[in-house]
Amino acid sequence: MGEPMRVLIVEDESALREQIANALADQDWAADGSGDGAEGLYLAREFPFDVAVVDLGLPGLPGLDLIRTLRAEDNALPILVLTARGRWQERVEGLEAGADDYLVKPFHMEELVARLRALTRRAAGSGSDRLVAGPLTLDTTAQSVTVAERPCELTAYEYQLLEYLVRHAGQVVSKQVLADWLYPHDEDRDSNVIEVLLGRLRRKLDPDGQLKPIETLRGRGYRFTLQDNGER
């Protein structure tokens, strides 16, 4: 994996913060933590982290404000938010604020590590496995996308959503199927999250609204409309 990952943990429950730091240390990852939102924002601005874990309920500065502030400053640090069980709207709010993924408390440390790995996964090699659909080219090794040769920056989950749709081009895929596939361990997962991710994906792939790569079929789901030209 090369360099050890540097993870920022912003969580005010100190026992949980320590538990996370220990789990990351087991992976030989370096972690810095804070229990205060304002201090977390300072750390995120000043130090080169690879990924951040951010609780939403924080003293100093709420987690959502921390995320919005970083995104308003064009800070692209991958962020996973921790949300409370049963408060599904927190997940949507977190993603809308600019978080890349969420995890519902309580969670298994293995799950957290897997999610953080997914958020930072950028394989060194590229060009070996490609999927082409209309002007889109997906590099399935590097998990990167170009639209008419222009690089398109997607988060890990946006990429996975797109690859699933491209591999099922022409088929109607329901929100539930996408939610089950993206979040297999979240038992009360919510399909509103899929709407938020799809909205972001559409804006990134098709900022001018010319291409319309993903069709919404009311009450049924989504369909990727560009022709899948297969693996290259």
Binding site for Ca ion (CB under 5 A): 12, 55, 57
Task: Output phi, psi for 195, to 5 deg.
Answer: -60, -40
> What is the rounded distance in angstroms from the CA atom of residue 205 to the CA atom of residue 124?
23
CB of 68 vs Ca ion, minimal distance in Å: 17
Tracing tokens 């601005």 back to the chain, one arrives at 45
Residue nearest to Ca ion (CB): 57
> What is the rounded distance in angstroms from the CA atom of residue 106 to the CA atom of residue 83?
9
CB of 13 vs Ca ion, minimal distance in Å: 6
Q: Which is nearer to Ca ion, 9 or 116 (CB)?
A: 9
> What is the rounded distance in angstroms from the CA atom of residue 184 to the CA atom of residue 120?
19
Task: Output phi, psi for 36, to 5 deg.
Answer: -125, 130
CB of 179 vs Ca ion, minimal distance in Å: 25
Q: Which is nearer to Ca ion, 88 or 224 (CB)?
A: 88
CB of 172 vs Ca ion, minimal distance in Å: 40
> What is the rounded distance in angstroms from the CA atom of residue 214 to the CA atom of residue 33?
39
Q: Which is nearer to Ca ion, 57 or 60 (CB)?
A: 57
> What is the rounded distance in angstroms from the CA atom of residue 192 to the CA atom of residue 173?
15
The answer to whether 123 and 142 are in contact (CB under 8 A) is yes
Q: Which is nearer to Ca ion, 17 or 175 (CB)?
A: 17
Q: Which is nearer to Ca ion, 12 or 39 (CB)?
A: 12
For residue 71, give the amino acid letter.
R
CB of 33 vs Ca ion, minimal distance in Å: 13
**Cα R_g (the chain), whole angstroms:** 18
> What is the rounded distance in angstroms from the CA atom of residue 201 to the CA atom of residue 127?
22
CB of 80 vs Ca ion, minimal distance in Å: 15
The answer to whether 29 and 6 are in contact (CB under 8 A) is yes
Q: Which is nearer to Ca ion, 12 or 96 (CB)?
A: 12
